[in-house]
Amino acid sequence: MKTGKVVVVGATGMVGRILLGVMKKHRLKPMELVIVGSSTVGKRKQTPYGSLKVQKMEMSVFDGAELAFFAAGAKVSKEWIPQLRGRNCRIIDLSSAFRYEPNVPLVIPSINGEAIGDSDLIACPNCTTSIALMVLEPIHSYFGIRRVYLASYQAASGAGWQALQDLEMQNRRWVRQGKPPKQGRTSATPLPLAGNLIPRIDILDSAWNGFTKEEMKTDWEANKILFIPHGGKEIPIIATCVRVPVRRCHSEVLVIQTETKVTPEVLRQCLIFAFGVRVLDDPDNWVFPMPLNMEDREEVGVGRIRVIPDGEGREIVLWVCGDQLLRGAALTAVEIAEYILGKKF
């Protein structure tokens, strides 16, 4: 797919590197590719598009650009994106900076690509929400969703590169000392993650009744992307988000209450034919999605598919797992670019 000049902001970061890989794999062919970073400015860097010089962030890097990806976090997006708007460059923001602005489309192309319209700024959803939505969308379209309970098992990579490094360092201490460390800040928490679980991700606010921002995001974003456009009413997602000592795959237990009766056979068909979903469901033979088999894969894996026998066939329980950096972030951004360039989903 040919495109004009493309700028990738945050190209040397964890998501940025995956993003360049997905762009190449999906055969995006920019006439010119500019990579912008903060740490290794001026140095050349090996990328899937060959060796490229890391540029310093300044407005001139966007001159003549057709597409700009922002993968450097909300702070950078908030500072630079407003200056860049209205300049004929379509901006794809991977951060949370503009997700909840009413006039900024929040998009997963296979679900609500049409929301992109001619907006010059498109936001990508949070990773936990993206992974859930790949499975919630086909279920909503088949059976109508009434209510969702979500318990997450989120990887260290979601807290950034440093958190992943910290986990590995804590693991070394565990091996050396024979037990997990009692102390050890990660870049996201004052607590160690190795051998531990951290049932808080992101901040809390008194308006949220004890829920964290990460938990609220799943509700806000699923409603903006899926429930309100496809059905017109708000559907609650009641989430508990937990960090687990895993590298880069997020997993989730989803309990889904539906409007109409579900049979296990129809549910299975609905998931087998869903875009971007891979059914791995033979638990008797240890077949289900998990970090071990979902890392580096574009699909969201779904397994442990159950329909509650006493729920009048209106309650589903699932286990999903997806690569947080790939399906949860970079892939959505590339799909948005593909949609803009004319690909149909």
Among 52, 115, 191, 266, binds a second copy (CB under 8 A): 191
The sign of the dihedral angle between the CA atoms of 57, 85, 330, 102 is positive
Judged by beta carbon, residue 101 or residue 296, the one nearer a second copy is 296
Among 230, 308, 314, 345, binds a second copy (CB under 8 A): 308
Judged by beta carbon, residue 26 or residue 247, the one nearer a second copy is 247
11, two tokens? 């190209």
Rule CB under 8 A: say whether 290 interacts with a second copy. Answer: yes
Among 44, 53, 182, 261, binds a second copy (CB under 8 A): 182
Verify whether residue 140 is a known catalytic residue: no
- What type of residue is 214? E
In the complex, least distance from residue 226 CB atom to a second copy, rounded to whole angstroms: 18
Which residues neighbour 92 within 8 Å (Cβ) at sequence distance 6 or greater? 67, 68, 69, 70, 122, 124, 333, 336, 337
Q: CA-based diameter of the chain, in Å?
A: 63
Verify whether residue 124 is a known catalytic residue: no
Stretch that binds a second copy, among 92-100, 102-110, 132-140, 205-213 (CB under 8 A): 205-213
Rule CB under 8 A: say whether 266 interacts with a second copy. Answer: no
Q: Are 136 and 225 in contact (CB under 8 A)?
A: no
Judged by beta carbon, residue 149 or residue 345, the one nearer a second copy is 149
E strands, the chain, are: 2-9, 29-36, 44-47, 50-55, 65-70, 90-93, 121-123, 145-153, 237-240, 249-258, 277-279, 300-307, 315-323
Find the helix packing angle between 127-143 and 213-222, rounded to 10°. 40
The region, left, alpha or beta by phi > 0 then psi within -120 to 50, assigned to residue 276 is left
Among 26, 61, 144, 174, binds a second copy (CB under 8 A): 174
Residue 25 backbone phi and psi in degrees, to 5:
-60, -35
Rule CB under 8 A: say whether 305 interacts with a second copy. Answer: yes
Judged by beta carbon, residue 118 or residue 310, the one nearer a second copy is 310
Helices (H), 104-194: 109-112, 127-143, 161-177
Among 13, 73, 138, 192, binds a second copy (CB under 8 A): 192
Rule CB under 8 A: say whether 164 interacts with a second copy. Answer: no
Judged by beta carbon, residue 196 or residue 269, the one nearer a second copy is 196
Stretch that binds a second copy, among 50-58, 92-100, 145-153, 322-330 (CB under 8 A): 145-153
Q: Alpha-carbon distance 85 to 178, whole Å?
A: 54
Which residues bind to a second copy, rule: CB under 8 A?
149, 151, 153, 168, 171-172, 174-175, 178-180, 182, 189-192, 195-200, 204, 209-212, 236, 238, 240, 242, 244-247, 251, 253, 255, 264, 283-284, 286, 288, 290-292, 303-310, 315, 317, 319, 321
Please identify every residue annotated as catalytic. 127, 250
